[in-house]
Structure 1
Amino acid sequence: MKPFPCSLLFCVSLLFSDVAHATYHLKAGDPQLKTAQSYSQTRHNAQPVLRTPNPAKTDSPCRSHPLDLVFIIDSSRSVRPAEFKKVKIFLANMADTLDVGSDATRVAVVNYASTVKIEFLLKDHFNKLNLKKAIARIEPLATGTMTGLAIKTAMKEAFTEKSGSRPRSGNISKVAIVVTDGRPQDQVEEVSAEARASGIEIYAVGVDRADMQSLQLMASVPLEEHVFYVETYGVIEKLTSKFRETLCGLDPCAMGHDCEHICINSNASFYCKCQSGYVLNADKKTCSPKQARAEVVEDSCKCEAMLVFQRQTQATIQQLTAKHILPVVSNGRQIEHLENMLGRA
């Protein structure tokens, strides 16, 4: 029975090894991230700090923002068939995460190697079932890695109104996610800059032997939020939760707010409103009852002025009577006597 503790210890060590591997890119000290971070410094003066997803947030109420989303996937010779299947699982998982629809998120896929193939456009699939079937039909192209050409094709052909991209006036975010495991065989810096300038937000995902400097040149800033690296295709699907946090807007009002009455969602933020009969205070959070405003009505017959004069006269009579200047008689006699006194004066 002595070997049993050793066997148990061995099993526990394997378990912790698996857990550690599953959290590959979430630890700040992970050497897989250090390479990406060192290259990030060439476009950032400060040392990038990669955000660590909060597990609690991924289970929180989520509102997927409408997107025009284009995946640009590398299927060159270095990507083995089994690895390419992992990429398609990642795409399918992403489809499950998003609100897919004509008025919600539209998805397209650009497949590339030495050549570029648009697998389907933003206007082609407006429900998850058809979208996932289309993803399952994608086949690798093999040979080279023309990443720059793929980004240019996405910009010129996939992100167009003709292909289903919505007009800029609609304020729909344009997002491209590039997945590659190698070094581009063409230039990516200039075409990526052009794509970003046109309003496309670029995320770059590097796998295994991916060139980190090229990823950094492709991605939008801040780089710590747009450049990712995973060691193998076997764990790429774990990036789904990361992109869910990034692309899916959490409901600020559902997460907690300090509005006294009503919380209104506004993109990734919120603002406060008051119930009927109340006004918002200067702190933009609390409410106070509306004050009734006195309306000024012009006294055309001067009745109000007469009443004021009568009140002043009564007050004067009371003062004079109290000083025994006027006799204590009826008000009418007092007024007459007061008039006689004024007349004699």
Structure 2
Amino acid sequence: MDLFNSVVLVWSILSCLHVCVEGCVEKADIVFLIDASGSVRPANFKKELEFASEMVGNLTIGSDYVHIGVVTFDSQAYLRLKIGQYNETATIQDAIMKIPYTSRGTSTDVALQFVLTKVFVPQAGDRPNAKDVLVVLTDGISGNRANTAKQAYFFKEKHIQVISVGIGGNTNKDELTDMASVPEYVFNVQDFSKLATLQATIKALACNTDAITTPSLQWMVGY
């Protein structure tokens, strides 16, 4: 490792330290959009749920801190947990792990539109004074990439931070980039068992200010 990369690594670790150790300390509404399509399979869907549950366990849940929402999707979108529906970590984790697997197609565009119009709205618990964050987990390509990109653009218009995570070799990097707020918010792991390696990085991006959202974090986990 050369001197420049050594400095970048140290800076990234120091920058991440506060949120990685103490959890999310700012007011944020974080929604997980989880792929439940047929290609995922039940065992891998459970790993997605475990990823979301473990991340919740490392956040500061509360009325003045983080609220959690969960949506799953296949050819449709399903609201599993309204933003702020529960304010206790263990209750949220239990609710997440009980979410059923549905199968069928991959209508990411439908899911994004659903989240924007039915989830990040005051009627569904979205707080006007909280940062909005969407974490997308998917193992495939949308059935309508053009409309997926169109729906993703609306998130940018509303300043909703989108982090996109591709799982396996059947995702499309361009589509993941279309969904993400910026290219540095795009990640990919080889398989579902590797999702845990992204925990600290995604928590840092979701919880802290723009000071942490640098390409070096993506470099640390290896896109």
TM-score range, shorter chain: 0.7 to 0.9
Q: How far apart, in 1, do the equivalents of 2:132 and 2:91 lie?
A: 22
- The structure with the largest helix share of the pair is 2
1:67 and 2:28 are equivalent in the alignment: yes
Q: How far apart, in 2, do the equivalents of 1:118 and 1:247 lie?
A: 21
1:57 CA displacement: 4.1
Pick one of 159, 165, 178 that aligns with 2:136: 178
Please name the residue that 1:261 is paired with.
Answer: none
1:53 CA displacement: 5.3
Alignment of 1:177-256 (within 5 A): 177-186=135-144, 187-208=147-168, 209-221=170-182, 223-224=183-184, 226-249=185-208
SS of the residue corresponding to residue 134 of structure 1 reads: helix
Q: Which digits, 9 at most, give the CA deviation of each residue in 1:5-34, with x for residues without a partner?
A: xxxxxxxxxxxxxxxxxxxxxxx9xxxxxx
Unaligned runs of 5+ in 1: 1-27, 29-48, 251-266, 270-345
> Letter of the aligned partner of 1:237 in structure 2?
A
Q: Which digits, 9 at most, give the CA deviation of each residue in 1:221-257, with x for residues without a partner?
A: 2x12x1000000011122111112223339xxxxxxx
Pick one of 65, 68, 72 that aligns with 1:111: 72
Contact 1:78 1:181 in 2 (8 A): yes
Q: Which digits, 9 at most, give the CA deviation of each residue in 1:171-195, with x for residues without a partner?
A: x211101110100002211111012
Unaligned runs of 5+ in 2: 213-223
Q: How far apart, in 2, do the equivalents of 1:67 and 1:132 lie?
A: 17
Structure of higher CA gyration radius:
1
1:91 and 2:91 are equivalent in the alignment: no
Q: Which structure exhibits the higher relative contact order, with contacts defined as CA atoms closer than 8 Å and separated by 6 or more residues? A: 2
1:74 CA displacement: 0.5
State the identity as a percent: 28
Distance 1:138 1:174, change over 3 A: same
Alignment length, in residue pairs?
201
Distance 1:249 1:216, change over 3 A: closer
> Letter of the aligned partner of 2:196 in structure 1?
E
Q: How far apart, in 2, do the equivalents of 1:215 and 1:65 lie?
A: 26
Alignment of 1:1-345 (within 5 A): 54=13, 57-58=16-17, 60=21, 63-167=24-128, 170=129, 172-186=130-144, 187-208=147-168, 209-221=170-182, 223-224=183-184, 226-249=185-208
